[in-house]
Amino acid sequence: MARQAVADKRQRRQRGSISVDEIINGAFEVANEASVDGLSMPLLAKHLDVGVTSIYWYFRKKDDLLNAMTDRALGQYDFATPFVEGQDWQESLRNHARKMRQTFRSNPILCDLILIRGTFGREATQAAFQKLEKAVATLVEAGLSPEDAFDTYASISVHTQGAAVLERLQDRSGGAEPYRRSGTSVIDPETMPLIADLTEKGHRIGIADDINFEYGLNCILEHASRLIAARGEAG
């Protein structure tokens, strides 16, 4: 009697029927459905209709696969966020920062791979340097010293990344579990008159949101424009 139980076993794949690109593509597909954390080798293998161990011929460790994904993600990110010069340096920088944030927001996987998993150890992309050079040039032309220009761009960059990361982490855990303390949260108007009023108006504490992002961005840009003004007076 033939065993039907074996019927659903996958057929053996041909030699060369798996490619690095195919694996990475599949990995992004799985990550899109299950998030980067949910991406596992068995899950990916099932998605690709491949033996789990076959993946290990192309990527010796899962970490190698994630590195390859991160490289591709960085490419996407760089492509999506060029630095566009304009007549108004403030608006150029502002739009640039907004675009960066928006890219991370609309694509959490980029955020997880690039920011949270951390490209920090490795060198910055060539594309990142080009953006930096362009932005610094714009600021220098506007009247900043190269050093101040660099610090300004670095500050915008970190501000944007920080906002993106915090927001992503909020989403991650916020979606999972509301978890409210019973009553403890109530603000006593007697002892805390100021914030009792403000929180009723909808203000939120310690939350990275649009308002907060724009506010910080404004502060940085304003600081830069003051530096320019001060230089103009001195020169």
Partner DNA sequence: ACCTGAACACCGTTCAAGT
Q: Minimum distance between the CB of residue 12 and its own copies, rounded to whole angstroms?
A: 35
Q: How many CB atoms sit inside 10 A of residue 66's CB?
A: 19
Q: Which residues 6+ apart lie within 8 Å of 177 measured at CB?
A: none
Q: Does residue 228 interact with its own copies by CB under 8 A? A: no
Q: Tell me which of 13, 22, 84, 219 binds its own copies, using CB under 8 A.
A: 219
SS3 of residue 1 by DSSP: coil
Q: Does residue 40 interact with DNA by CB under 7 A? A: yes
- Residue 87 DSSP label: S
Distance between CA 188 and CA 195 in Å, rounded?
9
Q: Are the C-beta atoms of 137 and 83 separated by less than 8 Å?
A: no
In the range 86-115, which residues lie near its own copies by CB under 8 A?
Answer: 115
Q: Minimum distance between the CB of residue 60 and its own copies, rounded to whole angstroms?
A: 14
Q: Does residue 128 interact with its own copies by CB under 8 A? A: yes
Rg (CA), the chain: 24
Q: Are the C-beta atoms of 135 and 153 separated by less than 8 Å?
A: yes
For residue 3, the partner it binds in its own copies, DNA, none, with Cβ less than 5 to 8 A by kind, is none
Distance between CA 192 and CA 190 in Å, rounded?
6
The phi and psi torsions of 215 (rounded to 5 degrees) equal: -60, -50
Q: Minimum distance between the CB of residue 32 and DNA, rounded to whole angstroms?
A: 16
> Per-residue contact track with DNA, 57 to 86, x per CB under 7 A?
xx-xxxx-----------------------
Q: Tell me which of 140, 225, 228, 231 binds its own copies, using CB under 8 A.
A: 140
In the range 19-78, which residues lie near its own copies by CB under 8 A?
Answer: 67
Q: Does residue 132 interact with its own copies by CB under 8 A? A: yes
- Give the binding site for DNA (CB under 7 A): 9-10, 12-18, 39-43, 50-54, 56-58, 60-63
